[in-house]
C-alpha cells in the first residue's frame, strides 16, 4: 500500500511550489514545502480519516464514499463512474466534484497516465499495431469518456456526443476539474528514477509513520530525503 501513497500525496507536495527533484537532480524533501505537505496530508488522515486508512486502496476509498461513510475522498478522475452511479452509490444526489484547494505554489493535481506499448519480441506486430490504433482512436476515446473514463485527446471535449452528456451540475463539475488537470496537472507520480517501486515505497512508509504517530513530519522528511538520495542516484 505504501507505494500507492505518492499518487494522492503528490498534489499536496506540488501545491506548495516544491518539485520532487531540484535542478541538480537531487531529492527535494529537505525543503520546507515537503514538511508542510507531509503535515497537512498526515493530519487530515490521522484526525479525520476512517479507521485503517493507511491500509486502504482506491477501491476501499471509493466504496466508503459511495456508501456515505466518508465526507470527502481524493479520487482518480476515472472513479467518477463508480461513485456517481446511482445503482452503486447512495450519495449521487448530494455529492460534488472539485480539485484539492491550491497552495502557495498553485494547484497541480497529479496526472496518472496509462499507455499501450508493443513488445519488440511480439510475433504479431501488425495486429498489435492495428489494435493500438483502434484502442486510442478519437471515436474510442469518446466512447470511454461517456462511461466516465477520462480521455487524453483534446478532440473528445468538442465531440457532440460528449457535449450532450454534460447535462448536470455534477457532470459539469467533473468536466471543470478535468480541464484544470489538463492545464495545471503534474505528470510525475513520484521522483523520476529507475527504482520506482522503492522510491514510492520510501515516501509512503515515511508519511505512513507520521499518520500513525511514529514520526514527526520533520523526521519523516529527513528519512525520506536520505533514502531517496541513495535510490535516485542509482
Please give the pLDDT value at position 234.
Answer: 59
- Running DSSP on this structure, what letter comes out for residue 77? G
Please give the pLDDT value at position 174.
Answer: 83
Element housing 6 (H / E): helix 5-15
**What distance in Å separates the CA atoms of residue 61 and residue 45, rounded to the nearest whole number?**
12
Please give the pLDDT value at position 120.
Answer: 95
| Residue 35, all three cell numbers | 514538511
Output the pTM of the full model: 0.87
Please give the pLDDT value at position 114.
Answer: 80
CB count within 10 Å of CB 26 equals: 15
Please give the pLDDT value at position 39.
Answer: 99
**What distance in Å separates the CA atoms of residue 37 and residue 45, rounded to the nearest whole number?**
13
User: Which structural domains are found in the chain, ordered by start?
Assistant: 2-111+187-233 (3.40.190.10), 125-184 (no CATH)
Please give the pLDDT value at position 14.
Answer: 98
| Greatest CA separation for the chain | 55
User: In the predicted model, is pLDDT for residue 228 greater than 80?
Assistant: yes
| Residue 177, all three cell numbers | 476539474
Residue among 17, 8, 13 at smallest CA distance from 106: 17
- Running DSSP on this structure, what letter comes out for residue 106? B
Please give the pLDDT value at position 193.
Answer: 92
3-state secondary structure at position 170: helix
**What distance in Å separates the CA atoms of residue 51 and residue 56, rounded to the nearest whole number?**
9
Q: Which of 18-32, 151-165, 218-232 has the lowest mean pLDDT?
A: 151-165
Please give the pLDDT value at position 81.
Answer: 78
Amino acid at each position: 500500500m505504501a507505494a500507492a501513497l505518492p499518487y494522492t500525496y503528490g498534489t499536496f507536495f506540488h501545491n506548495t511550489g516544491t518539485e520532487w527533484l531540484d535542478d541538480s537532480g537531487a531529492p527535494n524533501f529537505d525543503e520546507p514545502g515537503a514538511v508542510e505537505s507531509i503535515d497537512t496530508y498526515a493530519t487530515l488522515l490521522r484526525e479525520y480519516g476512517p479507521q485503517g486508512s493507511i491500509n486502504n486502496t482506491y477501491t476501499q476509498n471509493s466504496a466508503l464514499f459511495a456508501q456515505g461513510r466518508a465526507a470527502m475522498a481524493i479520487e482518480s478522475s476515472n472513479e467518477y463512474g463508480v461513485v456517481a452511479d446511482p445503482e452503486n452509490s447512495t450519495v449521487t444526489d448530494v455529492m460534488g466534484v472539485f480539485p484539492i484547494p491550491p497552495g502557495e505554489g498553485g494547484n497541480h493535481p497529479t496526472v496518472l497516465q496509462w499507455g499501450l506499448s508493443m513488445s519488440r519480441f511480439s510475433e504479431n506486430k501488425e495486429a498489435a499495431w492495428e489494435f493500438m490504433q483502434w484502442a486510442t482512436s478519437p471515436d474510442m476515446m469518446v466512447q470511454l469518456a461517456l462511461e466516465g473514463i477520462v480521455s487524453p485527446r483534446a478532440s473528445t471535449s468538442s465531440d457532440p456526443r460528449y457535449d450532450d452528456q454534460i447535462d448536470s451540475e455534477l457532470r459539469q463539475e467533473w468536466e471543470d476539474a478535468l480541464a484544470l488537470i489538463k492545464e495545471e496537472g503534474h505528470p510525475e507520480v513520484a521522483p523520476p528514477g529507475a527504482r520506482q517501486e522503492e522510491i514510492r515505497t520510501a515516501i509512503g512508509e515515511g508519511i505512513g509513520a507520521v499518520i500513525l504517530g511514529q514520526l514527526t513530519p520533520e523526521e519523516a522528511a529527513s528519512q525520506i530525503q536520505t533514502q531517496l538520495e541513495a535510490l535516485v542516484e542509482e
